[in-house]
């Protein structure tokens, strides 16, 4: 300590003040980095953690308070799902589901006095992996449509009067004249949803 005092006496008063000031600033920086900043950071992190936990707790209380309503809504959704499942195809493979879709379209066309002249299976889209649920699509062509009534009844039966849900997309009708429907050609994509037991 005496050596330090002896060294300080060699400096002028102004230099001593500057040196002591620099030492105090350095001491403050070390204390700030080592103790003060980590302390306030820890306080902020704890506060944020508590706020997050409080929000989660509020959500939990809200869920518990509305449990009956959520259960009723879940029951409604399950009933709707069971109802919709009846509108889907259930087949072992994608090929069987595609063949079933083509068969249904052919039967609806035949019922309305039309003939499907061409039917092509398109790429399927996976909707869900478990249970394995896909959207099947086929492209159809119906030639030599005799009347608008046949066409209207066919389209109605596809969309509304069928035990399976089918969707019409990319509907194109080619007519020979301005007003004549006789001999018209229909091109369309039909899509259905299918549950598949075995993935191919």
CATH number for position 123:
3.30.70.60
| pLDDT confidence of residue 200 | 56
Task: Look at the block and give the residue holding tokens 């449990």.
Answer: 67
Tell me the HSE value of 159 on the side-chain side, using a 13 A CA sphere.
11
Same domain, 115 and 187: yes
79 domain-assigned: no
Report how far residue 17's alpha carbon sits from residue 19's, in angstroms, rounded to the nearest whole number. Answer: 5
> How confident is the model over 138-163, as pLDDT tens digits?
888 888 787 878 888 888 888 887 77
Same domain, 138 and 176: yes
Same domain, 98 and 58: no
| pLDDT confidence of residue 4 | 63
Tell me the HSE value of 162 on the side-chain side, using a 13 A CA sphere.
26
Same domain, 53 and 96: no
Looking at the chain, the whole-number percentage of residues with pLDDT higher than 70 is 90
80 domain-assigned: no
Same domain, 24 and 118: no
Same domain, 55 and 132: no
pLDDT band at 178 (very low <50, low <70, confident <90, very high): low
Tell me the HSE value of 170 on the side-chain side, using a 13 A CA sphere.
10
| pLDDT confidence of residue 53 | 92
| pLDDT confidence of residue 198 | 66
Structural domains counted in the chain: 2
83 domain-assigned: no
In this structure, the chain runs to a length of 200
Same domain, 112 and 147: yes
69 domain-assigned: no
Report how far residue 187's alpha carbon sits from residue 134's, in angstroms, rounded to the nearest whole number. Answer: 23
Same domain, 95 and 159: yes
Domain containing residue 139: 89-196
Same domain, 133 and 53: no
Same domain, 100 and 192: yes
CB contact set of 144 (below 8 Å; sequence gap of 6+): 115, 183, 185
End position of a domain, from candidates 47, 62, 77: 62
Type and span of the H or E element at 77: helix 67-85
Report how far residue 91's alpha carbon sits from residue 196's, in angstroms, rounded to the nearest whole number. Answer: 5
- Tokens in use for 50? 């508590």
> How confident is the model over 73-114, as pLDDT tens digits?
999 999 988 887 788 888 888 888 888 888 988 998 899 888
- Residue range 44-49: average pLDDT? 90
CB contact set of 176 (below 8 Å; sequence gap of 6+): 182, 183, 184
Whether residue 168 has pLDDT greater than 90:
no
Phi/psi at 136 (5° precision) = -95, 140
pLDDT mean across residues, the chain:
83
pLDDT band at 55 (very low <50, low <70, confident <90, very high): very high
Residue 140's nearest CA partner among 158, 156, 153, 152 is 158
Residue 168's nearest CA partner among 143, 135, 141, 192 is 192
| pLDDT confidence of residue 130 | 80
77 domain-assigned: no
68 domain-assigned: no
Same domain, 95 and 160: yes
| pLDDT confidence of residue 3 | 73
Same domain, 187 and 117: yes
């Amino acid at each position: 300590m005496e050596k330090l005092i002896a060294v300080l006496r060699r400096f002028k008063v102004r230099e001593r003040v500057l040196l002591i000031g620099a030492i105090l600033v350095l001491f403050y920086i070390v204390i700030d980095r080592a103790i003060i900043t980590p302390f306030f950071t820890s306080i902020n992190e704890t506060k944020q953690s508590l706020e997050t936990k409080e929000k989660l707790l509020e959500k939990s209380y809200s869920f518990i308070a509305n449990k009956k309503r959520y259960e009723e809504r879940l029951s409604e959704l399950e009933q709707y799902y069971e109802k919709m499942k009846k509108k889907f195809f259930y087949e072992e493979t994608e090929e069987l589901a595609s063949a079933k879709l083509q068969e249904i379209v052919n039967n609806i066309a035949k019922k309305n006095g039309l003939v499907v002249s061409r039917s092509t299976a398109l790429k399927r889209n996976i909707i869900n992996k478990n249970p394995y649920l896909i959207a099947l699509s086929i492209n159809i062509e119906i030639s030599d449509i005799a009347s608008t009534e046949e066409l209207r009844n066919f389209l109605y039966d596809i969309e509304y009067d069928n035990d399976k849900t089918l969707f019409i997309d990319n509907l194109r009708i080619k007519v020979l004249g301005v007003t004549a429907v006789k001999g018209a050609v229909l091109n369309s994509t039909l899509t259905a949803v299918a549950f598949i037991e075995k993935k191919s």
